[in-house]
Amino acid sequence: MRKALVLVDVQPDFMPGGGLAVAGADEILVGIATLMADPQFHTVVATQDWHPAGHISLARNHPDHQPFDVIELYGHEQTLWPDHCIQDSEGAVLHPALASASIDMIVRKGTDPAVDSYSAFRNNFDEHGNRPSTGLAGYLNDRSVDSVFVCGLARDYCVAWTALDAVSAEFDTSVIWDLTRSVDPSGDSALEAQLTANGVHIVQSDLLLALH
C-alpha cells in the first residue's frame, strides 16, 4: 500500500493564543513531526487555511453577527469564525514544527472570498450548489497513493470533512485520532461514530508507528 499523510491546518492561529485557538492543539506537534519522518508514508501533504480579509466565513464581515454564530449560506449552515489565517499573516504560516522539506504538496484552502473550505479535497458548497475540487485527489492518484492518513486541526471540522471526502474519492482512509483536536470536544463520541459509519478507520499514532 502506498500511503499519504495529510496534515490539516497545522498553523499558529489554531494553537493556544491564536486567532481560533483549539484546546490542546500544541500537544499534537511532536507526534506529527515523528510521522512526517516515517518512511512508510510515500507522500506528505499539508493544507493551509489562507483567507482573504474579506472572506465570507469571518464574523467581521457580518456586522449583525458574532463569532461562532451559524447562518445559512447557499442553502447550507455556515459557522462564522473569528479572524484567523488571514493571507500573509504570521498566524497563517505553516507551523515551524513541520519540516518543510518533507512536504510534497501544500493545498491552500479558503482562498475564494465567497466560499468556505474545510476539506483538503473539495471546497464547501458554492452559490451553484457545487463543491469544487482542490486537485488533491488527482495528485494522489498520479502518485499511486491508495491509503490516506489524516491528522491535524480541527478534528470536528477540517479533519472530518477531509476524511469523508477521501472516502468518497475511493481512498482507504484513516484519522489518526490522537494527533487531532476538536473545536468542541463534547461531540467527539458522535463524530467518531459518524466517521466509522462512513468507512473511516480510527487509528492511534503509536500503533501506526509499530506497523514496520
In this predicted structure, the answer to whether residue 211 has a pLDDT above a threshold of 80 is no
Number of domains comprising the chain: 1
Assess whether 85 carries a catalytic annotation. no
Whether residue 197 has a cis bond before it, omega within 30° of 0: no
Assess whether 9 carries a catalytic annotation. yes
The helix/strand/coil state of 30 is: helix
Per residue in 137-148, pLDDT tens?
A: 999 999 999 999
Residue 134 lies in a domain: yes
Instruction: For the chain, count helices (H), then strands (E).
Output: 5, 8
Exactly one of 9, 13, 83, 116 is catalytic; name it.
9
pLDDT given at position 107: 98
Assess whether 151 carries a catalytic annotation. no
Residue 71 lies in a domain: no
Exactly one of 26, 49, 156, 158 is catalytic; name it.
158
**How many Cβ atoms are within 10 Å of 23's Cβ, its own excluded?**
13
In this predicted structure, the answer to whether residue 192 has a pLDDT above a threshold of 90 is yes
AA identity, residue 115? V
The CATH number assigned to the domain holding 114 equals 3.40.50.850
- What is the distance between the alpha carbons of residues 120 and 190, in angstroms, rounded to a whole number? 22
Strands 172-181 and 147-153: parallel
pLDDT given at position 1: 81
Per residue in 74-95, pLDDT tens?
A: 999 999 999 999 999 999 999 9
Beta strands in 63-133 (DSSP E): 70-73, 76-79, 105-109
Residue 137 lies in a domain: yes
Residue 65 lies in a domain: no
- pLDDT band of residue 210 (cuts 50, 70, 90) is confident
Grid cell 522539506 — which residue? 101
**Residue ranges making up the domain that contains 141:** 3-52+84-209
The residue among 52, 123, 40, 133 whose CA lies nearest residue 88 is 52
Q: Would you give the end-to-end CA distance of the chain in angstroms?
A: 13
Q: Which cell numbers in the block locate residue 163?
A: 476524511
pLDDT given at position 212: 60
* Residue 124: alpha-carbon gap to chain centroid: 13
Grid cell 469571518 — which residue? 58
Residue 60 lies in a domain: no
- Cβ pair 165, 121 in contact under 8 A: yes
What phi and psi, each to the nearest 5 degrees, are found at residue 57?
A: -85, -10
Beta bridge partners of residue 109, listed in sequence order: 49
Residue 77 lies in a domain: no
Exactly one of 13, 49, 109, 165 is catalytic; name it.
109
The model carries a pTM of 0.96
Question: Average pLDDT, whole number, for the chain?
Answer: 96
Residue 115 lies in a domain: yes
Residue 69 lies in a domain: no
* Residue 6: alpha-carbon gap to chain centroid: 8
